[in-house]
Structure 1
Amino acid sequence: MDCVQHIDSAKVNEGDKKDVELQNQRDKFIEGQRLLILTDEQPWKPWKRSRSWVKDFLVRVRCVMGSLMGMEWYCFAALGILTAFLSFLMDLSVAKLLRAHQWLYSQLEGHCLLQFLCWTLYPVSLSALSTSFSQSICPFSAGSGVPEVRTILSGVDMPHYLSLTNLFAKYVGLICTLAAGSTVFLGKVGPFVHLSTMVGAYLNQLCTVLRGVKEERTEGAMLVVAAAVGVASCFGAPISGVLFSVEVMSSHFALKDYCPCFFAAACGALTFHLLSMWSGEQETLRALFQTSFSEDLPFYPLEILVFAILGLLCGAVSCVYLFCHRWILLFIKTNKILIKVLSTEKALYSAMVVFLLASVTFPLSAGQYMASKLTIKQLLSSLLDSRQWTSQSHNASVVLQPNLCPWSEWIPSGNPYLTLGFFLFMKLWMLVLACTLPLPAGYFMPVFIYGAAIGRLFGEGLAFVSLNGVYLGQDRNPINPGGYALAGAAAFSGAVTHTLSPALLALELTGQSTHAAPILLATLVANALARSGQRPSFYDALSISKKLPHLPSLLKVCPRLFSVPIGKVLDPGGPVLERTAGPTEIQQVLNTCSQTQIPVVDTLDSRILLGSINRSDLQTFLCHNHNKVLKKQLVDMCSIRPVSVQLSPDTTVQEAHGVLSVLCGESLFVTERGRLSGVVTWPEVTSASRHAPTHAHTHIDITTPTTSLDSYTLYETYSTKVWTYLLIQGFFFILLFSTL
């Protein structure tokens, strides 16, 4: 019995000892933490001397770099270099994947069925992979990205479109899309502009950390610069990249952004050319698409009128293309079957569409009349060839080798008119259909090539009509179809996007300044025809279809919004604080709104605007008054900022948009004789434009993009557009059969 009691007492003593040890450890830990707090000492870290030396060295480097120029200029240079490096890696990866497809197709020669499966399943797999990967990682990565970037630059906060996951998903998805080749017929300009803005957003955060001071409006400037760098890094064309940023991306371009744009674009273009030269693609720094146009007499003076006619033709075809594009956007938004498929099985939809496109372009069937074996780059370089294909095909001494002469793919039967006409007829609906694919893709380069094909057909027809060329004195000046192809590319792409930057891009891509005047004339004429009737551009239609709060797009759709006063559509309700507000009222306002600037009035009855206060100041006010008996008022602890710019209720929607764009602000206050009438923000301006009254009892209902497309984007009736389409196609076939 005594033994049992002794064992029990021993167990109790051991348990007490463990409890005492645990308590001692807790006491030591708490005492150590208290000493750390009292002595302000940091926990031990290894290599203290080395870390201190590296830290001092980095501080000195930052001081030296800051003394030479501002830290933002280093970020601009880094933006251009990084974007060009990403562009080069993408081109290198796409080239290897395309080469693998061509090798596999050539190895199956003699097996028609296997070649068909290789030709179709390869792009189908890549397109399905691009769709599934981008949609699973980040659904915001699909599409061009240009409409979203334009909306962000207008002042709307869309952080998901600038995230790191979006950057990764869009980059990998775009590589797969481009590797599908000319079968899908999509480019990389738009998505790469989006990628460049994502890189710019992160570099802006890095620049803010290096400076140590957060400055307002720096992110907007960095994104504007990034848009220019995106185009410059794709083609090595810095000047047209800046012009693209001015025309497409920004409704109001600040002059202070000119130098950063040109500096970053030049860094990107130079890096792109250097990487291409070091990789062996180029022997020296030169234009991306080399041409051999005559510099002695590139065109006859009377040909200026012919270039103007080409501009009219490109403008008319662009109207048909934009109509088809708006119709397909409306169709996929209203068709119940497509809505269900695109909401659940996006990869399946991409695979089905790409299989259809690949089947049509199979080289052993209809694809041989569309030069389907050529890549996107080979298509453009062959269309810009200065030789007349008709004379070359009829010359028996000329041995055509497809590997050395890509333009020979356009004359499989010795008649380039049949191939060019069939290419234009088929690629019109194929390109429109490809625009519905839910994957990262660009739409500018296919449009540019389509315009080059229009100009090439026009030039070849003109060369056939004037067999002996144009005589200037005793000398004969042959027609240069490549010059018309270059002018057609600039005119058609400029008409589709409602810009003039493609004219300059065409000159920078080829290094040809001899055709500057006719190219600019053709682009201006095509733009004039495409802009008539207030038709929205390609990117405007995408903004409306995606329900993006981009007011310039809605103003093009509904011109009557220019004269609508903001007071008629302004919601008078909204968060307002009195100058004597307490913690309860402030907490209620913070819970009910997300605005960064809260208006402060004298009293809720008088609503005399005193100024505004930051949301962060209100949160600080609540922290200081937490759990205190003496409750202070707003005016006692917070500084009220005066409002320098105020709008009148008679200000139009367009004027309100202009003021918001110039000030780069998020909100403006509307007052009448000093009394607060409401607050205008970007979403509210867009919402106001969707419900803007044109008369006393009439409202423009643009509640959804589908309604706006149906009411204002189509403009003319179906019969008018169908007749226009038939007339243009009739012109092509008349020109085709007249030359047979």
Structure 2
Amino acid sequence: MITDVVSPTVTIHNNDNNNDDTKDDSNKQSTKPNVVSDSTITPNETSKKTGLTASSTVTTLDDMETKVILTNLKNASNVNYVETQNWKKGLKGIRRKKYTWTFLTVCGFVGGVIIYTHDLIVKYMFQGRLTLINAFDSNSYFGLRLVLWILFNLVFMYVSLMMTIFIAPASEGSGIPAIKAILNGTPLEDPLSFKTFLVKIITLPAVLGTGMFFGKVGPSAHIGALLINNMLKIPIFKPIGSIKSLKNQMIACGCALGVGSNFSTPGGGVLFALEVIGSYYSLRGYLKSFYVAVVAAFTSRLFNATVNLSLNLALNWNFKLTYPSFSIPELIAFAILGFGMGVLGIVYVYLNEKMYRLRDRFGGHYLFFKPERLKKYKFMMIFENRVIWTVFICIATSLLTFPDLIGKYMSLTVGATLEDLVSPNPLTSANGWITNSPYDIFSSLAIFIVIRLIFTIFSMSLPLPGGTYIPLVIIGAGCGRFFGEIVAIIFPNGFVAGQPIYAGAYAVVGIVALTASATHAFSTVFIFLEIVGVAVYLPSLMAALIAVRISRLCTANFYDTSIKVKGWPALLESMTDSEDLKVTNIMTSVDKLDILEENVSMRDLELLLQKKKLPKILPVVSSKDNLVLLGQVHLKSLEFQYNLMKARLNNSGKEITQASNFAPISDEGYGSANDGNDSSATNMAGYASFELQDRDETDIIRIEYETCDITISESQSAQRAHMLFSQLCLDEAFVVWKGRLMGQLARQMLINTVSARERNQIIVV
């Protein structure tokens, strides 16, 4: 489609003009044909105007002078050139600098304060709930205590639910799938918006304080990314966000901030965050991630020491296991546990996917009905199935965690529960565990595991902020403790004389294996290495390897499954693992592309531009016979060249004045060939130039093009193409064979092909 394209004002003066001054000027310019008159636009003059207006007066319209005009336009269109010409010291110069480490320090401190505040709120909510029901006697007021317990949880849950549904729906869930999708090229805005940030930091502690089976690791990573993204909007830090690759590094640092400060384990936290959010990660951001995680972890722990008026460093969890807590023959038992946790992780991911799909299918209904006319009333969302289901799960969870019903161990905090399960000492009745005989502990653990597993799966489908990592930690600890107690009964004296069986050691291995299986993140080993120490380091490594290997053979991880269910077009590494999938199987072949020759007639160019749907980038070849790829040209630049040539041909020998009103240049300057930015594509018109060949006989123009930054060989695998698209943030690239154009590969095309291929494969779970 041909559109009006801005072009410079070109005035042609006829040499036969009777004006003597004009003749003198013409004679002067004829001696120097390559010099443009003083009225030619300069970058300094252009930058003083709100919209760039270029005007040039040329006495002899030859190709050389036209090139000079367009060269000036190129410089005027280049924002970096304009900024260089207008460089001023002082405040403007300060704003141009990138205070990366200052930015990370501020974000680390603020993030640490937020994480510590959340811990403090959750702690006092648990204490306040117990204080509320303990004001009444457990024997005389059992019903009243139960009602108060349920109402306490229901009020905080419902307020959080309403804020999530009506203000920021993107704040629900873990947040890691959304961040991973964004870093893999999906254009999502809501998961990083300011309203999502506010809702998430308010509702997360409220939900966790109700005792529902949610975690805070994923949401904390999301909060860290939200903090980074919104801090980049502060004027002094805007230069950091103007570079896409650096901005992505900062968002990854935000995720590392959230995980590292949660456990006070910056090392394992950074590795875990980077492993779950990105397929490929540049080492340029490695040190930055560790730095911001260390700052956040220190801030969180030092605030705790300040509040408690103590100089002792307070740890999140207090686990004490002697080294070594295993013997060599026990490695067989640990391997069996790793295999079992791998299978359980597969089942967990599979059931979560089914629950997500059921919610997407029926969550927006009203019971079994879906009247479309009610959708226009926003307040009707409070009667949808997803809201009713959330209230039901909250009430059921409150009943099961009531300390006077099943046992006190169901209502403990995360830290207290894990300290019980990981302890090398036997479980006691102090927290409600049944210990009348050596075999009674299995009934308590079985009830604990089944309830936790079922209601964690139900909770993950609720429209509330909350993660899955901590629930997996607790389930893994329960399963590991259960298995360890069995081994301790079978071998009461241990495998080796003098080395008893520590059931708590099996709990740690169960944690590591289950979390690694569900998330496919091997780095979870190093988180608990920092927490527990090296007591069961080798068994944990072995069990995690077994669990991850089994899980990857059968299913995607929890976060990738969430991305697929939501339908986000993210290019995931698991989708392109096969080396037998080549670029030639995915690309759009050359016969389906709109191709432009370097020397093209006006008629052919006009026919091309009249097409309704044209890509933003067109390939330029030497000829359609040999298809040697020379470069690429933006559609806006091509339209500019066409309109300028058309005006020149129609008005040759006459005075031509073609108005030019350039849009203000964006701060980001030139966009790459793959950024899809219309304003950047418009600015590319400054690059347009042409040469008229045999003007009197044929209307042939030579297209001015730019070099292709990236091309892909047709024999490359989809795995390598995925790496290029992820690392360089590409949307499309041309495919070549020995320099000849073979086709084009687009990100969405790669996603669609591998997704369809996965659907056709049979996966046995």
Q: Which TM-score band (shorter chain)?
A: 0.7 to 0.9
Q: Does 2:722 match 1:657? A: yes
The correspondence of residues 307-346 of structure 1 with structure 2, limited to 5 A, is 307-334=334-361, 344=381, 345=384, 346=386
108-117 vs 83-92, which moves further: 108-117
Residue 483 of structure 1, CA deviation: 1.7
Task: Give the partner amino acid of 1:332.
Answer: R
Contact 2:641/2:688 (<8 A) preserved: no
Q: Distance in 1 between matches of 2:307 and 2:611?
A: 57
1:409 maps to which residue?
432
Q: Does 2:451 match 1:426? A: yes
Q: Distance in 1 between matches of 2:474 and 2:292?
A: 27
Secondary structure of the structure 2 residue equivalent to 1:532 = helix
Q: Does 2:122 match 1:112? A: no
Residue 162 of structure 1, CA deviation: 1.2
User: Once the two structures are superposed, what CA deviation does each residue of 1:618-665 show, in whole Å capped at 9, x if it has no partner?
Assistant: 899999999954999973189743114212344443332122123333
2:688 maps to which residue?
635
Q: Does 2:189 match 1:136? A: no
Q: Distance in 2 between matches of 1:272 and 1:471?
A: 42
1:243 maps to which residue?
271
Residue 431 of structure 1, CA deviation: 1.2
Contact 1:289/1:509 (<8 A) preserved: yes
Contact 2:734/2:743 (<8 A) preserved: yes
Q: Distance in 2 between matches of 1:590 and 1:319?
A: 50
Q: Distance in 2 between matches of 1:59 and 1:286?
A: 44
Residue 283 of structure 1, CA deviation: 5.2
Q: 1:77 to 1:630 in 2, by over 3 A?
A: closer
1:24 maps to which residue?
none
User: Once the two structures are superposed, what CA deviation does each residue of 1:353-385 show, in whole Å capped at 9, x if it has no partner?
Assistant: 2223323333333x32x7222122221222122
Residue 187 of structure 1, CA deviation: 0.6
Among 529, 537, 557, the residue aligned to 1:537: 557
2:466 maps to which residue?
441
1:185 maps to which residue?
213
Q: 1:588 to 1:196 in 2, by over 3 A?
A: farther
Contact 1:577/1:585 (<8 A) preserved: no
Q: Does 2:556 match 1:546? A: no
Secondary structure of the structure 2 residue equivalent to 1:670 = strand
Contact 1:332/1:338 (<8 A) preserved: no
The correspondence of residues 207-218 of structure 1 with structure 2, limited to 5 A, is 209=237, 211=239, 214-218=242-246
Residue 673 of structure 1, CA deviation: 5.4
Q: 1:413 to 1:565 in 2, by over 3 A?
A: same
Among 66, 81, 89, the residue aligned to 2:109: 81
The correspondence of residues 41-56 of structure 1 with structure 2, limited to 5 A, is none
Q: 1:712 to 1:172 in 2, by over 3 A?
A: farther
Contact 1:228/1:261 (<8 A) preserved: yes
Contact 1:567/1:649 (<8 A) preserved: yes
Q: Distance in 2 between matches of 1:604 and 1:529?
A: 51
Q: 1:614 to 1:134 in 2, by over 3 A?
A: farther
Residue 180 of structure 1, CA deviation: 1.6
Q: Distance in 1 between matches of 2:222 and 2:608?
A: 38
Among 406, 410, 414, the residue aligned to 1:376: 414
Q: Does 2:580 match 1:563? A: yes
Among 703, 724, 748, the residue aligned to 1:683: 748
The correspondence of residues 465-484 of structure 1 with structure 2, limited to 5 A, is 465-469=490-494, 472=497, 476-484=498-506
Secondary structure of the structure 1 residue equivalent to 2:465 = coil
1:497 maps to which residue?
519
User: Once the two structures are superposed, what CA deviation does each residue of 1:188-237 show, in whole Å capped at 9, x if it has no partner?
Assistant: 11122112112222344548756599445211211222221121121111
What's the Cα RMSD here?
4.0
Residue 101 of structure 1, CA deviation: 1.8
Task: Give the partner amino acid of 1:550.
Answer: A
Q: Distance in 1 between matches of 2:518 and 2:536?
A: 21
Q: Distance in 2 between matches of 1:120 and 1:622?
A: 72
2:58 maps to which residue?
none
Task: Give the partner amino acid of 1:528.
Answer: R
Give structure 1 stretches of 5+ with no counterpart: 1-36, 41-54, 394-399, 401-407, 692-699, 703-707, 722-740
Q: Distance in 2 between matches of 1:633 and 1:337?
A: 50
Q: 1:88 to 1:436 in 2, by over 3 A?
A: same
Contact 1:314/1:491 (<8 A) preserved: yes
Q: Distance in 1 between matches of 2:331 and 2:486?
A: 16
Q: 1:577 to 1:237 in 2, by over 3 A?
A: farther
Contact 1:126/1:180 (<8 A) preserved: yes
Q: 1:493 to 1:281 in 2, by over 3 A?
A: farther
Q: TM-score, normalised by structure 1?
A: 0.73
The correspondence of residues 120-199 of structure 1 with structure 2, limited to 5 A, is 120-181=150-211, 184-199=212-227
Report % sequence identity. 24
Q: Distance in 2 between matches of 1:340 and 1:671?
A: 55
Q: Distance in 2 between matches of 1:96 and 1:200?
A: 28
Contact 2:304/2:314 (<8 A) preserved: no
Q: 1:642 to 1:302 in 2, by over 3 A?
A: same
Q: Distance in 1 between matches of 2:709 and 2:411?
A: 62
Q: Distance in 2 between matches of 1:60 and 1:214?
A: 16
Q: Does 2:480 match 1:455? A: yes
Give structure 2 stretches of 5+ with no counterpart: 1-44, 49-87, 376-380, 648-655, 661-684, 691-702
Q: 1:621 to 1:355 in 2, by over 3 A?
A: farther
Q: Does 2:534 match 1:513? A: yes
Task: Give the partner amino acid of 2:688.
Answer: V
More RCO (CA 8 Å, sep 6+):
2
Q: 1:62 to 1:690 in 2, by over 3 A?
A: closer
Residue 608 of structure 1, CA deviation: 5.2
Contact 1:146/1:191 (<8 A) preserved: yes
Q: Does 2:394 match 1:354? A: yes
Secondary structure of the structure 2 residue equivalent to 1:477 = coil
The correspondence of residues 169-318 of structure 1 with structure 2, limited to 5 A, is 169-181=199-211, 184-206=212-234, 209=237, 211=239, 214-280=242-308, 284-295=312-323, 297-318=324-345
Residue 564 of structure 1, CA deviation: 3.1
Q: Distance in 2 between matches of 1:587 and 1:107?
A: 81
Q: Does 2:552 match 1:487? A: no
Contact 1:125/1:351 (<8 A) preserved: no
Q: Does 2:686 match 1:669? A: no
Q: 1:618 to 1:195 in 2, by over 3 A?
A: farther
